[in-house]
Structure 1
Amino acid sequence: MHNFFRVLRIALRHRLTVIASVGCSLAIALLWGGNITAIYPIVDIVMAGKSIPQYVDEHIAETETQISELDESVARLRETLRAEGAGQSSVRLNLDYQTSEIEDKQTKLAQLKRWAPWAHQYLPNTAFETLTLVCLGLFLGTILKSIFRIAGAYCTTRLRHLTAFELRKQFYRRTMRLDLSTFGETSPGDLMNRFTGDVNLASNGTQEVFGTALRAPLMIVVCLAGAAWISWQLLLLTMISAPLSGYAIHWLAKALKRSNRKALEELSLVYDRLEETFGGLKVVKAFTSESRERSRFHQQSKQFYRKSMRIAFYDSLVSPLTEMMGIGMIVAAVVAGGYLVLNQQTHLLGIRISQDPLTHGWLTLFYGFLAGASDPIRRLSGIFNGLQKSLAASDHLYELFDRESEVVDPSVPVALPSPVGRIQFRDVSFYYKPEEPVLRGIDLTVKPGETIALIGPNGCGKSTLMNLLPRFYDPQQGSVSIEGVDVRNVRIRDLRARIGVVTQETLLFDDTLAENIRYGSPGATDEQVVAAAKRAHAHKFITEKLSDGYNTMVGSRGGRLSGGQRQRIALARAILRDPEILILDEATSQIDVESERLIHDVLEEFVQDRTAFMITHRPSTLSLANRIVVMEQGKIVNVGSFDELAAKCQLFRRLAHLNQRESA
């Protein structure tokens, strides 16, 4: 419930919409109860062939007669007390009771006499005209109630969309602040499920809360208040079955919330399966594994189906329970009320139910109020599972929302020196899992303006080591510093503003080529964008092969471009950013042979006067490095120039394919 209350607090920020929703619900509830009261004048007045003025006059006369009879009875009781002494406690109790009756009836008489002139002046004098007036009032009340229902539905729907809008923005902002390890632990399918399914379900709950969940209880309260006004004792008697049904519904609520939570987790796995299959569709088809993937998807979907059917089972119990509670109330009311009216009694099982015997009209109105309460109860049972889904979705959503990033800004940030000085990795150790260390005691010092190449077998920790510099991760042991300043003491935004990164998996956004190049430098002019593209040797294919030139949309993840084209756009993006520290992680791996020499010249020029790290196995690129760091199993095993390592390091020769070149 706590997390769902957080969603409701977002909705409560839109005060005017909330106030309008609450006001509409209150108006609907009052009009709902007001329409039900039309039963009484129809049954006890119109069906008796009377008008309201006649009914008031008769009740005035009847009440005056009752007061006169009570006065005579009180006088006799007082004579008895004087004659027999003050010891007659039963007589005195009877005297007090009848005195109280006189006061009640005098109050009632005063009210009737106040109403009488108004009734005679404004209300019709015949039964049919009275019936017409009551029906007209009922019709107008229904029209007015319908207007409030339309306005209320609009307000609650607006509130739902506003809440979803704010919630989605907050969640997106929060996820952007999380570190990469969190995204490694959370699958894309699960993230998409939270962004779409969880947000929608949670915001749907706000619509239900400020709609049916607010309106229905108000309608129930109005109806039960009306029934209690007729006879609260009879109302309590009819609600004997309510506690048992309430406990059963509470049990169902817990079961539904638990089942909905499991269903959401299964749905995330279904999304994962879809994302994995569609993302690797080419591989699936290449290995003719369609039937295998269909089988895996079938099993995943079947699990979700089973969880959904468990929810359906629990949900199917809600309506029968509420119906049994309603039938229990109605049966108790019919038996007890029928006994009182048919026998003109005011007591039941020794308990006083009413001051005067109930008439057919009052009892029918009592039944009408109970029936009026049953309809909103039925509506509440209809949204019961929906609210449980909202509760489960809120918990699932805020589970990730509340996760703290392991990489955070320091409380008192330190400014980096300008220009960037010496970079040091001191006794750096890192692991994703404690039992699987990735880096072990790395020590490396890089001078300003030096170009360092890293080479090693797959999984030796090259990319992980470079990920520590811009603080994509923080080491568990040791430190990474720039000119003596630990990068953990620098504001993340300030640190990454000085670093440019080009990765092997080039990611472009579904935007124009120009905007993709400008991505790291939003303030760059069109001329600067073109200049960067020329330096990356991308300008030619942009202007000659693409019909819209720099305004060409690259598609999702740059899918409309070839791998080599995407890589050159990524290089242009880094060139435009003009960082002091450059990290190239297999950045030339997808460049064709024809472009390799040109890109080599670009990199040779671009790495001048800046500190650069290159992860590569290409000898042409390795030759650009001042020093080459050879890594194996998370450790640095050798450092030197190209010629030095070629002469003394067999691992380097094998990784750079020098042995094959010599034999060729």
Structure 2
Amino acid sequence: MSHFRRVLKIAMAHRVNVIACMLTSLVVAVLWASSLSAVFAVVDVIMEDMSLPEWVDKQVVEAREEVAQAKVKLEQLGADPEANRVEIQGTQFHLKLNANRAKTFEQVSPIAHRWLPDTAYQTLIVVAAAVMLSTVVKSIFRVINQVLISRLGNRVGLALRKQFYDHLLQLDMSAYSHQGRGDLMNRCTTDLNYMSVGIQTLFGMAVREPLKMLACFAFAAYISWRLLLLTMIVVPLAGYLISLLAKSLKRANRRAMEELSSIYETLTETLTGMKLIKAFTMENAEREKFDSSAKVYYRRQMRIATYNSLVSPLTETLGIAMVLMAALAGGYLVLGGHTDLFGIPISDRPLTHGAMSMFFAMLVGMSDPARRLSNVFNDLQQAAAASDRVYQVLDTAPAIKDPPQPKPLPKLTKSLCFEHIHFGYHEDRPVLVDVDLEVEAGETIAIVGTNGCGKSTLLSLVPRFYDPAAGRVTIDGVNVADVRLRDLRSRIGMVSQETLLFNASIAENIAYGAGNVPQHEIEAAARKAHAHQFITEKLTDGYNTIVGPGGNRLSGGQRQRIALARAILRDPEILILDEATSQIDMESEQLIHQVLADFTRNRTTLIITHRMSTISLADRVVVMDKGQILDAGSHELLLSRCDVYRRLFHLQYRESA
């Protein structure tokens, strides 16, 4: 429960809301027990054909008689005070007790005669009206209590959801690939919902029902606290068994949540790769994979249901055991007129039928909240398990973060350097090995090589999506790890092969990251990227067209032109093009080629490409293989001396022929 305590700290920050929940729960609890106490008036007053004023007068008479008898007994015992010392002390106690009782009822008597009815039936009407009024007021406070609890739980859920999303934005790229999108989505939705429900349960039923039990406990203890202790000897055993069930429930819930994350992951992959699944007729294989995960999740759910089903019988058995023990003990005391049980004093005076009936009513009043509490355990254990999973992400410190004392980032006037770079996504599998490369300010270089040779990884080090295991990346001699991430990335523009557009308008996607820019600048950037024509002629709403999730309402080439327009509008100091023209048709490529030639002029540009037409934009070509730089130079020079480049060139030439 350690992580769930952190959730409680967030809840406790809303002090007014918490206090209001507690107070309304307390009112509900007191009114609950007060309504049950009406059984005393019915049994000991109304069923004896008395009104409440008559019953009060009777109590005054009985108390005075008890006082008189005690005084007589004290006079008799006074003959030998040493021998009768213990009995004298007991009699003096009863004398004082009954004297106070007589005084109390004497003070109440005038009020009772003035305001209460003087017949048994009229008293019954008043008791019934009081119970009804108490029930209505209790219901009103319970509604208020429920609304306050929901408000508290949802406010905590809102705060946690915002905190979780904010932390996701700060994590480095490796964290996303390690956790998986489906798992992170599950933690941000289902797990956070469990935590919100847990807070509502904790400040709702977990407070209100025990308070109802406590109020009934207080009334029962007032009648006979010794008898109450006797009836509760089974509570420690039940508490121990329930604690074991609670641990099992938390463990089962955590495993079920992990399996649900697997289902989310499968769904994400299926929806993303639906075209591939249908093209290769893999529906049956994917169905079997999903069925397997769903069956495991089903088994986890059944285990939770089994554990949860044991809680209610335990509490019910506890309640029945308490009532039966009270019935046996109470029957012996009331029917026999005794005040002790097995020599143990239970009450100071014989219990009446009304007092014993009220005692039973309070036990029943405790058993009903106890039964309701059986539903609380699973909610709290779900919340505890969900808290562990959510805080596992929240406690993950981003590996890529601002330095404690960041340096100012100079304007790139000399060079961008990769110095002795070593990097691997896994320690035993290096991707980049001792890479040295200097790119002069304003120079355009093209990086070529076979798939998996480390081209994209190398360029990912410039905006610090990853940090090298050894070596450094510098801009005019300043290590990029020593400057603010925002300062660094604001100087860089990127267009990648996997173009991502957000589910917003064309204009919003082009202006993404550029702040509030006028429409004419957005359109100018689109024209330079040769996107303006299809936007205005082929899209119904032009620049206001919503592109859909991931830009799925546009073709691949259209998406890449929008992304290129976004980079042009940003006007970056360093431009990174990672297969930026791979999904553009040949006609569009010819149009964009001149745009890139103009846009990259005097701008430090790093290009990853397999297309020879794009390579012609470069001042220099860098050839990579197996994480190392093999050679660098002009296109003609590399053709004459680099076998790898020659093979890549001839392969591209055949594909474009």
TM-score range, shorter chain: over 0.9
Tell me which amino acid in the other structure corresponds to 1:4.
Answer: F
- The question of whether the paired residues in 1 share the 8 Å contact of 2:412 and 2:475 is answered with no
Q: Is the aligned partner of 1:58 residue 2:19? A: no
Q: Is the aligned partner of 1:559 residue 2:563? A: no
Q: Structure 1 residue 79: deviation in Å? A: 1.8
Name the residue aligned to 1:28. 28
Distance 1:124 1:652 in 2: 109
Q: Equivalent of 2:498, from 483, 491, 505?
A: 505
Q: Specify the SS of the correspondent of 2:433.
A: strand
Runs of 4+ in structure 1 displaced over 4 angstroms?
A: 658-664
- Using the TM superposition, name which of 218-227 and 72-81 deviates more: 72-81
Name the residue aligned to 2:265. 272
Q: Equivalent of 2:85, from 85, 92, 99?
A: 92
Q: Structure 1 residue 166: deviation in Å? A: 1.4
Q: Specify the SS of the correspondent of 1:520.
A: coil
Name the residue aligned to 1:619. 612
Name the residue aligned to 1:296. 289
Distance 1:662 1:562 in 2: 22
Tell me which amino acid in the other structure corresponds to 2:29.
Answer: A
Q: How does 1:447-596 map to 2 (within 5 A)?
A: 447-596=440-589
Q: Deviations over 1:502-557 (max 9, x none)?
A: 11000000110000000020222111100100111111111111121111111111
- The question of whether the paired residues in 2 share the 8 Å contact of 1:43 and 1:361 is answered with yes
Q: Deviations over 1:201-222 (max 9, x none)?
A: 1001111111111100100111
Name the residue aligned to 1:310. 303
Q: How does 1:313-332 map to 2 (within 5 A)?
A: 313-332=306-325
Q: Deviations over 1:104-130 (max 9, x none)?
A: 111111111111111111111100011
Name the residue aligned to 2:640. 647
Q: Deviations over 1:349-401 (max 9, x none)?
A: 11110000000000000000000011111111012111111111111111111
| Residues 263 and 662 of structure 1: CA distance in aligned 2, closer, same or farther (over 3 Å) | closer
Q: Is the aligned partner of 1:145 residue 2:138? A: yes
Q: Specify the SS of the correspondent of 1:407.
A: coil
Q: Structure 1 residue 327: deviation in Å? A: 1.1
- The question of whether the paired residues in 1 share the 8 Å contact of 2:612 and 2:652 is answered with no
Q: Is the aligned partner of 1:370 residue 2:367? A: no
- The question of whether the paired residues in 2 share the 8 Å contact of 1:442 and 1:636 is answered with yes
Tell me which amino acid in the other structure corresponds to 1:19.
Answer: I
Distance 1:57 1:646 in 2: 119
Tell me which amino acid in the other structure corresponds to 1:614.
Answer: I
Distance 1:371 1:271 in 2: 45
Name the residue aligned to 2:244. 251
Q: Structure 1 residue 421: deviation in Å? A: 3.4
Distance 1:658 1:638 in 2: 19
- The question of whether the paired residues in 2 share the 8 Å contact of 1:537 and 1:599 is answered with yes
Tell me which amino acid in the other structure corresponds to 1:77.
Answer: L
Q: Equivalent of 1:605, from 598, 604, 610?
A: 598
- The question of whether the paired residues in 2 share the 8 Å contact of 1:653 and 1:659 is answered with no
Q: Specify the SS of the correspondent of 2:610.
A: coil
Q: Specify the SS of the correspondent of 2:417.
A: strand
Q: Is the aligned partner of 1:127 residue 2:120? A: yes
Structure 2: gaps spanning 5 or more residues: none
Tell me which amino acid in the other structure corresponds to 1:443.
Answer: D
Q: Equivalent of 1:401, from 394, 407, 423?
A: 394
Q: Is the aligned partner of 1:178 residue 2:171? A: yes
| Residues 663 and 479 of structure 1: CA distance in aligned 2, closer, same or farther (over 3 Å) | closer
- The question of whether the paired residues in 1 share the 8 Å contact of 2:334 and 2:351 is answered with yes
Distance 1:10 1:20 in 2: 16
Q: Equivalent of 1:156, from 146, 149, 162?
A: 149
Tell me which amino acid in the other structure corresponds to 2:102.
Answer: L
Q: Is the aligned partner of 1:205 residue 2:161? A: no
Name the residue aligned to 1:424. 417
- The question of whether the paired residues in 1 share the 8 Å contact of 2:39 and 2:361 is answered with yes
| Residues 217 and 658 of structure 1: CA distance in aligned 2, closer, same or farther (over 3 Å) | closer
Q: How does 1:374-393 map to 2 (within 5 A)?
A: 374-393=367-386
Structure 1: gaps spanning 5 or more residues: none
Q: How does 1:213-232 map to 2 (within 5 A)?
A: 213-232=206-225
- The question of whether the paired residues in 2 share the 8 Å contact of 1:7 and 1:203 is answered with no
Distance 2:80 2:531 in 1: 118
Q: Deviations over 1:55-85 (max 9, x none)?
A: 111111111111111101101111233xxxx
Q: Structure 1 residue 167: deviation in Å? A: 1.2
Q: Is the aligned partner of 1:68 residue 2:68? A: yes
TM-score, normalising length: structure 2: 0.98
Q: Structure 1 residue 155: deviation in Å? A: 1.3
Distance 2:270 2:165 in 1: 25
- Using the TM superposition, name which of 309-318 and 8-17 deviates more: 8-17
Aligned residue pair count: 657
Distance 2:286 2:643 in 1: 43
Q: Structure 1 residue 659: deviation in Å? A: 8.1
Distance 2:4 2:578 in 1: 43
Distance 1:442 1:76 in 2: 111
- Using the TM superposition, name which of 14-23 and 376-385 deviates more: 14-23
- The question of whether the paired residues in 2 share the 8 Å contact of 1:520 and 1:574 is answered with no
Distance 2:167 2:656 in 1: 56
- The question of whether the paired residues in 1 share the 8 Å contact of 2:611 and 2:652 is answered with no
Q: Specify the SS of the correspondent of 2:177.
A: helix
Q: How does 1:96-115 map to 2 (within 5 A)?
A: 96-115=89-108
| Residues 143 and 450 of structure 1: CA distance in aligned 2, closer, same or farther (over 3 Å) | same
- Using the TM superposition, name which of 649-658 and 433-442 deviates more: 649-658
Distance 1:334 1:662 in 2: 94
Distance 1:662 1:183 in 2: 35
Name the residue aligned to 1:187. 180
Distance 1:499 1:358 in 2: 87
| Residues 25 and 271 of structure 1: CA distance in aligned 2, closer, same or farther (over 3 Å) | same
Distance 1:433 1:239 in 2: 60
Distance 1:510 1:662 in 2: 35
Distance 1:553 1:479 in 2: 41
| Residues 398 and 659 of structure 1: CA distance in aligned 2, closer, same or farther (over 3 Å) | closer
Tell me which amino acid in the other structure corresponds to 2:8.
Answer: L
Identity %: 51
Q: Specify the SS of the correspondent of 2:78.
A: helix
- The question of whether the paired residues in 1 share the 8 Å contact of 2:400 and 2:465 is answered with yes
Q: Is the aligned partner of 1:11 residue 2:4? A: no
Tell me which amino acid in the other structure corresponds to 1:73.
Answer: K
- The question of whether the paired residues in 2 share the 8 Å contact of 1:416 and 1:495 is answered with yes
- The question of whether the paired residues in 1 share the 8 Å contact of 2:610 and 2:652 is answered with no
- The question of whether the paired residues in 1 share the 8 Å contact of 2:223 and 2:355 is answered with yes
